[in-house]
């Protein structure tokens, strides 16, 4: 079927017919080109509009919670130290009655990624729905009650 006899030769041709292979590859390429944009997922990010929005003279909102992780791995919630054992209970107690389930996270830049993710997993597993990332204080303030 796919092999032909050459004039004057007694055996089959040893060339492979690549046309069906190319057809299959082109079909696969088209399928991947169509499906790839549909599988891309992203996260919605709300960025501040300008640096003027972040004024230093604003009073911190008492309803905002800032979870701070220092370079030693100590966790504080609004400047109150929390041990690793009581962290899930404390977060659950805070967020079970709140309508706004947002927490702001400030972590030391020297921490390992896994340490920060472990704290985020505990927070998300105990009622937190939204996490705001707060950059570290450039003046070395550590962490506080407002982002």
Secondary structure in 3-state letters for 121-146: HHHHHCCCCEEEECCCCCCCCCCCCC
Q: Does some domain include residue 122?
A: yes
The pLDDT tens digits for 27-82 are 999 999 998 888 777 767 776 666 555 555 555 566 788 889 988 889 998 889 99
Q: Is the pLDDT score of 137 beyond 70?
A: no
Q: Give the DSSP letter of residue 6.
A: P
CB atoms within 10 A of CB 105: 20
**CATH label of the domain that carries residue 117:** 3.30.420.270
The pLDDT tens digits for 77-93 are 888 999 989 999 998 98
How many domains does the chain contain in total?
A: 1
Q: Does some domain include residue 99?
A: yes
- In angstroms, rounded to a whole number, what is the distance separating the alpha carbons of residues 24 and 129? 46
Sign of CA dihedral 141, 122, 104, 61: negative
- Residue 23's pLDDT is 96
Which residues constitute the domain of residue 95? Answer: 58-133
Q: Which pTM was predicted?
A: 0.56
Q: Considering the chain, what is the average pLDDT of its residues?
A: 79
Q: Does some domain include residue 21?
A: no
Q: Does some domain include residue 15?
A: no
Mean pLDDT of 5-17: 69
Cα–chain-centroid distance for residue 44?
10
Q: Does some domain include residue 74?
A: yes
Q: Does some domain include residue 37?
A: no
Q: Does some domain include residue 140?
A: no
Q: Does some domain include residue 46?
A: no
């Amino acid at each position: 079927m796919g092999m032909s006899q050459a004039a004057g030769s007694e055996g089959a041709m040893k060339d492979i017919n690549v046309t069906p292979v190319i057809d299959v590859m082109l079909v696969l390429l088209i399928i991947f080109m169509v499906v790839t944009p549909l599988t891309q997922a992203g996260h919605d990010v709300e960025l501040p509009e300008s640096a003027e929005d972040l004024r230093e003279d604003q009073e911190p909102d008492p309803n905002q919670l800032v979870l701070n992780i220092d370079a030693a791995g100590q966790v504080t919630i609004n400047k109150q130290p929390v041990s690793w054992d009581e962290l899930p209970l404390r977060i659950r107690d805070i967020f079970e009655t709140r309508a706004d389930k947002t927490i702001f996270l400030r972590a030391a830049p020297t921490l390992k990624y896994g340490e920060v993710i472990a704290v985020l997993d505990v927070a998300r597993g105990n009622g937190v729905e939204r996490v705001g990332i707060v950059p570290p204080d450039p003046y070395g303030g550590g962490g506080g009650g407002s982002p």
